[in-house]
Structure 1
Amino acid sequence: MTLPLLPPHPVPLCVIVLAIVAASTDLTARRIPNRLIVLGLAVALAVQMSIHGPLAGALDWLSGAACGFALLLPFYLLRGMAAGDVKLLMMIGAWVGPALTWRIALATFLIGGLWSLLIVLCRGRFARLLANLRQLIGGLAVAPLRQPSLIDARSESVGSIPYGVAIAAGTLGMLFAAAL
Structure 2
Amino acid sequence: MLTTANVLPPIAPCVIALVVAAASTDLQCRRIPNPLVGAGLFGALLVQCWLKGIGAGAMAWLTGAVVGLALFLPFYLVRGMAAGDVKLLAMVGAWIGPLLVFYAALATCVIGGAWMLVLIVRRHQLGKVWANLRVIAHPALQGSGSARDSIDSVGSVPYGVAIAAGTIAVLLTASA
Secondary structure of the corresponding residue to residue 97 of structure 1: helix
Q: Does 1:179 align with 2:151?
A: no
1:88-145 per-position Cα deviation (integer Å, ceiling 9, x unaligned): 000000000000000000000100111000000000001111111111111x3553xx
Separation (CA, whole Å) in 2 of partners of 1:26 and 1:152: 27
* TM superposition score normalised by structure 1: 0.93
Higher helix share: 2
User: 1:155 aligned to 147, 151, 156, which one?
Assistant: 151
Give 1:118's aligned amino acid. Answer: V
Q: Aligned runs of 1:11-160 on 2, under 5 Å? A: 11-138=11-138, 140-141=139-140, 143=142, 146-147=143-144, 152-160=148-156
User: Displacement, 1:155?
Assistant: 2.5
TM-aligned CA distance change 1:28 to 1:151, over 3 Å: farther
Secondary structure of the corresponding residue to residue 149 of structure 2: coil
Separation (CA, whole Å) in 2 of partners of 1:157 and 1:117: 14
Aligned length: 175
User: Hey, what does 1:169 align to over in structure 2?
Assistant: 165
User: Displacement, 1:151?
Assistant: 5.5
Separation (CA, whole Å) in 2 of partners of 1:151 and 1:105: 29
TM-aligned CA distance change 1:46 to 1:151, over 3 Å: farther
Separation (CA, whole Å) in 2 of partners of 1:166 and 1:17: 15
User: Displacement, 1:150?
Assistant: 9.0
* Residues 19-28 or 6-15, more deviating: 6-15
Separation (CA, whole Å) in 2 of partners of 1:156 and 1:13: 39
Separation (CA, whole Å) in 2 of partners of 1:15 and 1:151: 40
User: Hey, what does 2:2 align to over in structure 1?
Assistant: 3
Q: Over aligned residues, Cα RMSD in angstroms?
A: 1.4
Aligned 8 A contact 2:7 2:175 in 1: no
Percent of aligned pairs with the same residue? 51
* TM superposition score normalised by structure 2: 0.95
